[in-house]
Structure 1
Amino acid sequence: MEGSEELESSLLTQPWASVCFGESAFLAKACFRDTGYILLISDLSSVWYESADAETVGQRSKPDAATSFSCHRAASGLSLHVKSELSGLPFYWDFHCCLAPVEMVSRHLVRPLIQMSLALQYQVQELTSLLLQKDAEIEDYRESGAALSRDRLQTKPFQEEMFQQNFMAEVRSAASLPSFSTGVVGSWS
């Protein structure tokens, strides 16, 4: 039987998805098994989670034909109310999430984001170096008398400083956005 530690370990492999409940935007990931489920949800100000075993699921399930989604934030946690259909059958569920412990937030959100950021920084450095090398190679060809057979292939030399300035401007702009971009994370339906 899979315990809560195994569910949380399985949750690590799940991608984050962007979800909206009314006007509220969240990032969420979940893992559902025969033995229960675990849900992690964040508005990037707070992170909440709920873990429930099969017995809790059985006690709480209440079929209903209506379809709706709602959420309620309180100091003690976050409640998500879902009414829908699942495989043609009515599905009704309340998720009762409490604040996630710091270690869980670090394990599922902070560390993966930092690792991804470091990997992307490394890739940007590698691509910058490659572009600068390509510009030097093209310049060497030009100095040797080579010419492009098609003018439309002509490019301007890569300007590393301008690239860095534009990149930082985009980062600052993205940091001020009020909601999540579904193009980056994906959508949960």
Structure 2
Amino acid sequence: MEVSEELESGLLTQPWASVHFGESAFLAKVCFRDTGYILLISDLSSVWYESVDTKAVEQRSKELNKRLTVNVSSFLNHLCNLMCPLLAGQPAPTTTFSCNRSASGLILHVKSELSGLPFYWDFHCCPAPLEMVSRHLVRPLIRMNLALQHQVQELISLVLQKDAEIEDYRESGATLSRDRLRTEPFQEETFQQNFMTEALRERLEISAMGKCVASPGFSPSGIRQLLNQEERLTILRDG
């Protein structure tokens, strides 16, 4: 299955979205152009794709929709109008999606209406090549993970600096007017352990519900501590 450079480049700019077909959860992204479309879909165990040009769209539309006589651009536009709301989490109420998985691939069935007549479409997806999986899934995840790690380290450094500033105010005789804002000095090792435990628990809970998980950049407890420090510093400065 050949992939045009135009469709491949367009697909790289599209975000992954979480979709459900029955009880099965998937990640999917799609790109439509005047020349055809490309769909990439994964259940995080396998990755499938389909890329077709206008000639293939025309042939399949004749096979599945014998009563419809519309041009290829109308078919592509209608498919785009069906898939984009699905990926946005707002599928059209008159449209149904279902899928069949096999050792050779995945077929996504679509049933809707066009010009007042039933409209059917099947996406015939085959296993995606390793380079495509790496380009669209593995590399972006690695880059995101590295960026989030950098963000966490920057926030830890900021918390430690604020601890030092608070201690300097305290040694200068400043006191808190609201005792509830008093916090213990930040312990980086303890925070890192709690951070990993909390992140792992969230992953397990969300995965159990069949939802897609995104790695957290900073834990809620870390954010709360940073906000408390900001409020303490304001009081100490004003005092």
Preserved contact between residue 96 and residue 111 of structure 2 (Cα < 8 Å): yes
Q: Structure 1 residues 104, 87: closer, same or farther in 2, change over 3 A?
A: farther
Selected match of 2:141 from 113, 129, 136: 113
Q: Which of 143, 146, 170 is 2:198 aligned to?
A: 170
Give the total of aligned pairs: 181
1:106 CA drift (Å): 0.2
Change (3 A) 1:44 1:181: closer
The one-letter code matched in structure 2 to 1:17 is A
Higher relative contact order (CA 8 A, sep 6+): 1
Q: 1:88 to 1:32 in 2, by over 3 A?
A: farther
- TM-score, normalization: structure 1? 0.85
Query: Cα distance 1:155–1:90, how it changes in 2: closer, same or farther (>3 A)?
Result: farther
Q: Tell me the residue number matched to 2:235.
A: none
1:180 is aligned to 211
Structure 2: 5+ residue runs without aligned partners?
Answer: 69-93, 216-239
User: In structure 1, what is the equivalent of residue 157 of structure 2?
Assistant: 129
Q: How far does residue 180 in structure 1 lie from its aligned partner after superposition?
A: 2.1
Segment drifting more, 160-169 vs 22-31: 160-169
Relative to the length of structure 2, the TM-score reads: 0.68
Which structure carries more helix by proportion? 2
Q: Which has the higher strand share?
A: 1
Larger radius of gyration: 2
Alpha carbon RMSD of aligned pairs, Å?
Answer: 2.5
Deviation of residue 162 (structure 1)? 2.4
One-letter code aligned to 2:26: F
